[in-house]
Amino acid sequence: MTKKAISDYTAANRAVWEASAPLHEQGAQWDALLAQASTPEFSVLDSHLTNTLRALNLAGGTAFQVGCNNARELLSLRALGLVPKLGIDQSAAFLSQAVRLASACDAEVNLVEADVYDLPPGLGTFDLGLITIGVLNWMPDLPAFFRIVADLLADGGRLVIYETHPILEIFDPAGATPHEPAFSYFDSSPQKIEEIITYDGQDHGKGETGYWFLHTMGDIVTACAKAGLRIAELTEYPHSNREPQYDLYQGRAAQIPMCYCLVAAKTA
């Protein structure tokens, strides 16, 4: 994929997130998040991701997050003894929220507004890289993405990805037959996203047009490995870590994998 094609997609996706940002900084939920951020034990990480991170024994190490949104997850690493140092996102509006949360935490974090495929030089290297739900599917070029992420890791550093399982992407929970595949697992063509994005499962109407990319598990693992990262573990889970409309796929006798956690290491 050409650099121009990549930048066309990422620019469109930036507009999508800029349009959705105001909905995430209002109401009781935002007020509660700000209040919680001022407490030493502040964390929005679930038990699965928390346990994975604790097992790495990286307390005292530095961390970065790609696609950090408003940095609530990056700042949550403080409760595990990690030092959040760098958050990267291309949405200025979400990074504005991150500034407010970091201030509430009294944390000094370098928040960089940039297309991940065109980062400024000199950002440094870190002991932990974090990628969470939804980030990979906004990325039009996975091999290039993982090479960039690998460059931000120090030798011996770890990458942790806690993401929606690619299998879940083939289903449409709003469709007439939600338990039958609605999309091909192997369809790599850009999928248009036109609704305003929130995490509450509600329809907030039309927004900007962005592009969602379906990546197979093979695509993800291979791109990670080819970037020079050693796969340490890949754990698949039967629970959902995304919007509530996907909860209907949980707790079934014939259970599909719904999310996963991949841990990789950068070897010297």
- The sign of the torsion formed by the CA atoms of 14, 142, 163, 265 equals negative
pLDDT at residue number 215: 97
pLDDT at residue number 28: 86
> What pTM does this model have?
0.94
Q: How far is CA 38 from CA 32, 68, 129, in A?
A: 10, 19, 24
pLDDT at residue number 15: 93
pLDDT at residue number 199: 59
pLDDT at residue number 194: 84
Q: Which letter, b or e, does each residue of 248-268 get, where b requires 16 or more Cβ atoms within 10 Å of its Cβ?
A: ebeeeeeeebbbbbbbbebee
pLDDT at residue number 184: 96
pLDDT at residue number 208: 83
pLDDT at residue number 268: 73
Each residue of 30-72: pLDDT tens digit? 999 999 999 989 999 999 999 999 999 999 999 999 999 999 9
* Spacing of C-alpha 73 from chain mean position: 9
Each residue of 93-107: pLDDT tens digit? 999 999 999 999 999
Q: How would CATH label the architecture of 3-266?
A: 3-Layer(aba) Sandwich (3.40)
Q: How many other CB atoms sit within 10 Å of the CB of residue 44?
A: 13
On whether the CB atoms of residues 65 and 74 are closer than 8 A, the answer is yes
Q: How many other CB atoms sit within 10 Å of the CB of residue 222?
A: 15
pLDDT at residue number 197: 67
pLDDT at residue number 4: 67
CA dist 84 and 247 (Å) reads: 31
Residue 160 sits at φ, ψ, to 5 deg, of: -120, 125
Residues of the chain with pLDDT under 70: 4, 196-205
List the one residue out of 145, 138, 117 whose CA is nearest residue 212: 138
pLDDT at residue number 1: 74
pLDDT at residue number 200: 52
List the one residue out of 94, 100, 58, 48 whose CA is nearest residue 78: 58
Three-state SS annotation for 73-89:
HHHHHHHHCCEEEEEEE
CA dist 71 and 76 (Å) reads: 8
